[in-house]
Structure formats: structure tokens, C-alpha cells
Chain A
Amino acid sequence: MIQAEELTKVYQMGDNEVRALDGASFTINKGEMIAIMGPSGSGKSTLMSIIGCLDVPSSGKYSLDGVAVETLDETKLAEVRGRKIGFVFQQFNLLARTSALENVMLPLTYAGYSGREREERARKALEIVGLGDRTHHAPNELSGGQQQRVAIARAIVNEPNILLADEPTGALDSKTGVEIMDLFQRLHKENGQTVILVTHDSYVARHTERIIKISDGKIVSDEVNRNPIKAGAAREDL
């Protein structure tokens, strides 16, 4: 469903050209759970923004569900993001002074759902992440782990083709981090959700079934992980 061919992204920094991505090609199928790994400055964030349709490549082809993303204009890109992609960020990025329910409803608002349908779907998403009883809490009334769950509920509320998580456990302690990884694995296993984790942390990456390593804008390895760590089991150990 994701086909990337020779993706390059060049930034102009003053007089210098920075090649953040330099000919990356890969395919990701529906229902995969995969990690994109690399140190900071490797180009993984650039790759993530292209996969997430936040940006378009300078050259190369990127097709999402058969749609050639590099040909889309800003408005179409926004629509694709709203309908096909769910983002989870390291810093949660929830709207302050806004209830969990309303935070989760946000993508549906932009997608043009009616008020009642929005609320119904947002409640369901919050139940899936285990926060059915926290719908009216504002972010500052929730723990870090709970905030990230709200963010995940917001990411899945549109039933996106891809759940794209950027260092989702980076701001959490290890116990909460494991809980979040467990949630990703459940979403993947139970709902067949495609999950792409972008991380520098090999421990986090080993929770997935396939690891793409990137360095200096190039893909240096793309391997199947035969024995993903089961966060659920680890959770029981803790």
C-alpha cells in the first residue's frame, strides 16, 4: 500500500544543500508493524514527514494506496492526512484546556463529520485505548501515559490506513512506555492496523516485525524481526 521509489529530499540551508533523504526505496504492506530506525540527523524524521504526507519529496515517487502523493497540492495533502494517516508524537501535542473527548474529535471536525457522529466515534476510540472513563478530563488532569493514549485515540479515530508514531515512548518512563507499546501491538494484532514507528531506540524498534535502518538519508538495512518483543508479556513481568 506504500510504495516509495528513490525518494530524495533536499533542503537549502543558506548556500549549502542538505540531502536529508538520498534515494530511499521501500514498500510497506497493509497490516504490517514496522520500525524506521536511525540516529538523529539520519533523515528518519524527513522520511516520516513524507510518509505522513506532511511534506512532499524533492524527487522520486511516493504512492499511498495508489495515489501519487508528490503530485498533490497542499489542500489535497491535508485531506489525505486527515483521512488516511494517524499521527502520534513524542510530546503528545494535545490541545490544552480541551477535554480528551474534544481532542479526539478534532480530526473528525476537519473531515466534516456531524457533531453526533464525531462524539460517538471519539468515545469508541477512547474506550479502545482504555480511557472510556476519562472523556472530560483536560490534558493537565491526565498522566503522561494517559495523555499519550488520548493522542493514540485521536490518531485512530479516523480509522486511518497508517498509524504513524514518532518516538511515542520518548517522553514516558519505561513502565508507561511498555504500556504504550502494548497498546500499539494490540491495535496491530486485533484490528489489523498498519503501524509505523519512527525511533532511535533499538529496544522500541524490536517490538515490531520489520526494522528499516536509515543513515545519512539512505536505507542501510531492511530486515524482518522474527521475534518481536511482546510488550504484553513484558508488562506482566514488571
Chain B
Amino acid sequence: MLFSENFKIALRALRANKMRSVLTILGIVIGVATVVALLSIGNGATASITDSIQSGGSNLLTISPGRQQTAMPGLGQSQQASYLYYSDFELLERTLTGEITSIVPLYQSSYTVKFGDESFTSPVSAVMEDHAQARSFTVMDGRFITDGDNKSQSRVAVLGSNVADDLFGAVSPIGQTVSINGVKFEVVGLLELEGSSIGSPDDTIYIPLETGYAKLFGDTANHNGKKTVNSILISVTSSDNMDAVSAQAEYILRRAHELKPAEEIDFNVMSQADTLETLNTVTQTLTIFLGAIAGISLLVGGIGIMNIMLVSVTERTKEIGLRKAVGATKNQILTQFLIETVTLSLLGGLVGILLGVGIALAFSVTGLINSVITMDSILLAFFFALAIGIFFGLYPAFRAASLHPMVALRYE
């Protein structure tokens, strides 16, 4: 007997109970839609994180303070705060011999910024001239912080695109004066919108590092009489040289911080690849976790289908008896009911994919998360639905096929 015959029988049986069929596939529809939507949103989040990290400038090494947290906290050995100093930067700048294009220090904090009636808290980064090059910034209007600004400790600021919008709206910010934590700064430049989301320069105000030390940070940027920095960025000439530069920087800082050979380093040297890997692990774990929850709803949907198919087999016992009487073999009955279940679950799968894609697109359109719909996630959901149909269809189909023809014919 041909597949198409069975398919026709299945469609007829499903049409005979339209309402029931619709309710039955609802579980699969919701499950598949959730899988597709969650995977698309997860992929979108991963892509935007990757994007924002890569936009931070290529071949960038970031050195930040902090011990690797291997010891259990609170077990005697107290975790000492660790610092990176401006002198560490000067030392690295002087002694690094590797293939580097630039090295810049960065001190970052959050302050209240004010212009007219507008007032909010914004990240403020105190930087040097080379920062723009290290992070591949594009200045849209005016200029970036210069070495001259640093030398003269001038109170000038360069605004990220979003900050400028929030503070000034349609007014051109160049030449205006903003107050940062009560200190007046003149806006001299405006950065182009990058559009990436995490740690984005769009939301940041840039000021000269020396100005920050002298007029803004006060004691917060001072430890044991030494100026501290949040991080030191090293731009390496090519990705092949990353490891060598990273090792050299670690060696230099180890000596500067007077660490014994067995002692753990009190700073981290991270490349973009490391950051990306860490973040991707997080988002992937999250995506898998959410996908698993959606998978459970698919499983529940499958059980619903099995339940209805068992009812259907009981209802159609006489039909099964008749089919057997006119020559249907066990396998033919098995195939008929299996195809019916698979048709149900595939129908649910297709509707679910459309719904899931719709949800993902809705997220993109409303700008919540830029979802990325991949063929992988659609195929995954589709084949999962197919597998559910086969798995949960086997038992009812087997029940139908094993009915004794005489008993089935007499069934009332």
C-alpha cells in the first residue's frame, strides 16, 4: 500500500475531528514555536555580543586587576583587593618590545552628568589620545581627546552618540558645557554611533585621563599614593602575536607587582577571543537551557498526541477490524496509524515554526532583541516534532495493529 494512500486516510481521519485535531497539535505548536523563537533570540543575543566585542577594536588585549578566584572565599585566606597602577602602564609602554601598535590606560567610573534640565548617571572613561585608535573609534564631529588635553589637564569631553542624544537632543553638543559630578567640561567631540550593546562607547563620556586624576576622581583613583587605572588596553599588530605580547606583559607585571614564582597573578590579561569565548559559553548555556525547557513542552505535546491517538484507536476499533477482514496486514494498520500521528505532529511542527519565526521577528521589529533565525533551529524543531510523532505514535499504532480482527469487529 502506498504512502499517499495512508496519508489520505490520515487526513480524512483528522478532518473528521477538526476541533480535536487542532487541540491535539496545540502542544506541539507551542513547543516548536518556543524552540524556534528561543533559539533565534539566543542566536541574536550571541551575535550582538560578538558584534559589540569585535567592534571594540581588533587584536585588543585587556589587562585588568583581579586575582583568579580559585581559593574558596571565606576559608581563612582573605581575598585581597588588587590594583593596576598608572605606573604599570608606564612600565609596559617603556618595556614591551613586541609587535604592538598602541598601549593605553583607562580609568572608568560612573558620575551624574547634567546639561540644562537633563541629568542622569553615565559611565565616564578617562583616556589618552591613542584610545580612539586602539578601540577603532570614528569621530563624527569635532575631535577626540589629545595629548595636549592631558598635558594641560583641560576640562574637555567627547560624547558617545547615545549620551549626546540624551543630553542635547537635536542641539549640536559641540562647544556646549556639561557638568560631570559638578565639574564643568566643554564638549569638543562627538563619536559615531556604533550600535552595539554591551560596554558600548555609545553610552560613554570620554575625558582626558590627567584631567580625571586632577579634578574628578579624587581619592578613588589613588591607592598608597599611586594613581590607579581600571584597565590597560594593548593593541597588537596581528592576532598571531597576541600570545607573545600577552606573555610578555604578564612577565613584566609579575615583576612589577613583586609576585613570587608560585604566587598567582593579581591581574588578568584577556584577549577578545577569551572574552568572546567566555560570553559565548554563557549565552550558549542559556540557549541550551531555554531550549531544553521548550523541549519539555514538546514532550508534553507528544504525550497529548499519544493520548488522543489511543482514544482514536479505541473509537475506531470496528474500522480496524473491518480493514483487517478485507485483507489489511498488521504492518499496514501499523503504518496507517503511525502516519496519522506523524501527520499530526508535523502539522503542529509547521504551524509552530511559522509561529516561532513570527515571534522572533516580532522581537526584532520591536527592537527588543535582534533575533537571528537560522535554518538549523528550524530544522531542529522540525525533526524533533517528527521524532516525537514517531515515538509517541508507535504505541497507539502498535495497539491498533495487534487487535484481533474478530474481537475488533465485534467491539461495541
A residues neighboring B (CB under 8 Å): 45, 49, 52, 54-55, 74-75, 78-79, 81-83, 87, 89, 93, 95-98, 106-107, 109-112, 154, 158
Expressed in whole angstroms, the Cα–Cα distance for A111 and B325 within the complex equals: 12
Query: Which listed residue, B1, B321, B324, B410, touches A112 by the CB 8 Å rule?
Result: B1
Q: Within residues 153 to 204 of chain B, which ones have a CB less than 8 A from any CB in chain A?
A: none
Is residue B323 within 8 Å, beta carbon to beta carbon, of the partner chain? yes
Contact B326 A81 (CB under 8 A): yes
How large, as a class, is the contact surface on chain B?
20 to 34
Is residue B404 within 8 Å, beta carbon to beta carbon, of the partner chain? yes
Q: A49-B406, A82-B327 are in contact. Are A109 and B12 (CB under 8 A)?
A: no
Distance to closest chain B CB from A117 (angstroms): 14
* Residues of chain B contacted by A83 (CB below 8 angstroms): 327
Contact A107 B327 (CB under 8 A): yes
Contact B327 A78 (CB under 8 A): yes
Distance to closest chain B CB from A142 (angstroms): 17
* Residues of chain B contacted by A98 (CB below 8 angstroms): 12
Query: Which listed residue, A45, A81, A93, A96, touches B327 by the CB 8 Å rule?
Result: A81
Contact A110 B12 (CB under 8 A): no
Query: Which listed residue, A49, A75, A87, touches B326 by the CB 8 Å rule?
Result: A87
Expressed in whole angstroms, the Cα–Cα distance for A87 and B406 within the complex equals: 12
* Residues of chain A contacted by B319 (CB below 8 angstroms): 95
Distance to closest chain A CB from B406 (angstroms): 4
Contact A75 B329 (CB under 8 A): yes
Known: A107-B327, A110-B329, A158-B327. 5 other contacts (CB 8 A): A54-B406, A54-B409, A81-B324, A82-B327, A109-B5
Number of A-B contacts (CB under 8 A): 65
Contact A54 B12 (CB under 8 A): no
Is residue B310 within 8 Å, beta carbon to beta carbon, of the partner chain? no
Can you spell out 29 A-B residue pairs with CB atoms less than 8 angstroms apart? A45-B410, A49-B405, A52-B325, A54-B324, A54-B405, A54-B406, A54-B409, A55-B404, A55-B405, A75-B330, A78-B324, A78-B327, A78-B329, A81-B325, A81-B327, A81-B405, A82-B327, A83-B327, A87-B326, A89-B322, A93-B322, A96-B16, A97-B12, A97-B16, A98-B12, A107-B326, A109-B5, A110-B323, A110-B328
Q: A54-B409, A97-B16 are in contact. Are A78 and B5 (CB under 8 A)?
A: no
B residues neighboring A (CB under 8 Å): 1, 5, 12, 16, 318-319, 321-332, 404-406, 409-410
Contact B326 A154 (CB under 8 A): yes
Query: Which listed residue, A55, A78, A97, touches B328 by the CB 8 Å rule?
Result: A78
Query: Which listed residue, B1, B325, B331, B332, touches A54 by the CB 8 Å rule?
Result: B325
Contact B409 A89 (CB under 8 A): yes
* Residues of chain B contacted by A52 (CB below 8 angstroms): 325
Q: A55-B406, A93-B409, A95-B319 are in contact. Are A79 and B329 (CB under 8 A)?
A: yes
Select from chain B the residue with minimum beta-carbon distance to A114. Answer: B2
Select from chain A the residue with minimum beta-carbon distance to B322. Answer: A93
Contact A109 B409 (CB under 8 A): no
* Residues of chain A contacted by B410 (CB below 8 angstroms): 45
* Residues of chain B contacted by A54 (CB below 8 angstroms): 324-325, 405-406, 409
Contact A111 B327 (CB under 8 A): yes
Contact B1 A109 (CB under 8 A): yes
Expressed in whole angstroms, the Cα–Cα distance for A55 and B330 within the complex equals: 14
Select from chain A the residue with minimum beta-carbon distance to B324. Answer: A78
Select from chain A the residue with minimum beta-carbon distance to B332. Answer: A110
Expressed in whole angstroms, the Cα–Cα distance for A96 and B324 within the complex equals: 17
Q: A54-B405, A93-B409, A97-B12 are in contact. Are A106 and B329 (CB under 8 A)?
A: no
Distance to closest chain A CB from B70 (angstroms): 67
Expressed in whole angstroms, the Cα–Cα distance for A106 and B6 within the complex equals: 12
* Residues of chain B contacted by A106 (CB below 8 angstroms): 323, 326
Contact A93 B318 (CB under 8 A): yes
Expressed in whole angstroms, the Cα–Cα distance for A87 and B5 within the complex equals: 22
* Residues of chain A contacted by B330 (CB below 8 angstroms): 74-75, 78
Expressed in whole angstroms, the Cα–Cα distance for A53 and B406 within the complex equals: 10
Distance to closest chain A CB from B109 (angstroms): 75
* Residues of chain B contacted by A81 (CB below 8 angstroms): 324-327, 405
Can you list the 8 inter-chain pairs with the closest CB atoms, starting with the nearest?
Answer: A82-B327, A107-B326, A110-B327, A78-B329, A49-B406, A93-B322, A54-B406, A54-B405
Expressed in whole angstroms, the Cα–Cα distance for A110 and B405 within the complex equals: 15
